[in-house]
């Protein structure tokens, strides 16, 4: 997406006509990182997340997959896949003030290696980590 180029994000995209949101999520993961739909056990949905600067609504889903997947990246959409552990996410959590498109935001952030995860993606991670009881995040 031109408006979010270079940002760390989960696979995602627009819903096609006739699709439900679960089907959209599975299709986008297959198109972007080569994750076969049949290899995902969908567990449920997280709360919808807005993007503050661009006004998108994101409806995230959580699924289980077997470890050791070999990713087949869409060169137009994905530069690399990162697979942080829960410990790395917990240790990399913080809140920071950043400026995006001239708008100052105070947002959850996760710094994992060289990856700076912020905004909607960070809010999805925070929701997930709180729901699975992996962490109680400060602030």
Tens digit of pLDDT for each residue in 62-107? 999 999 999 999 999 999 999 999 889 989 999 999 887 788 888 8
Contacts of residue 64, Cβ cutoff 8 Å, sequence gap at least 6: 40, 41, 43
> How many other CB atoms are found less than 10 A from the CB of residue 82?
11
Cα torsion 120, 55, 13, 21 to 10°: value is: 90
Domain spans, the chain: 2-131
Q: What is the mean pLDDT of residues 52-62?
A: 87
Which residue, chain included where needed, has tokens 């600067």? 53
- Rounded to two decimals, the pTM is 0.86
Q: Is residue 44's pLDDT more than 80?
A: yes
Q: What is the CA radius of gyration of the chain?
A: 15
Q: How far is CA 7 from CA 2, 4, 115, 116, in A?
A: 10, 6, 9, 8
Q: Is residue 28's pLDDT more than 60?
A: yes
Q: Is residue 15's pLDDT more than 50?
A: yes
Q: Which fold has domain 2-131?
A: Nucleoside Triphosphate Pyrophosphohydrolase (3.90.79)
């Amino acid at each position: 997406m031109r408006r979010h180029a270079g940002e760390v994000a989960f696979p995602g995209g627009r819903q096609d006509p006739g699709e439900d949101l679960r089907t959209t999520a599975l299709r986008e993961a297959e198109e972007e990182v080569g994750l076969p739909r049949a290899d995902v056990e969908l567990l449920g949905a997280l709360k919808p997340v807005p993007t503050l600067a661009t006004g998108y609504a994101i409806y995230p889903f959580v699924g289980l997959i077997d470890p050791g997947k070999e990713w087949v990246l869409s060169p137009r959409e994905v530069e690399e896949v990162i697979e942080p552990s829960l410990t790395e996410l917990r240790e990399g959590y913080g809140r920071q003030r950043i400026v995006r498109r001239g708008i100052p935001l105070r947002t959850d952030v996760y710094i994992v290696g060289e990856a700076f995860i912020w905004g909607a993606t960070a809010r999805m991670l925070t929701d997930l980590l709180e729901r699975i009881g992996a962490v109680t995040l400060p602030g």
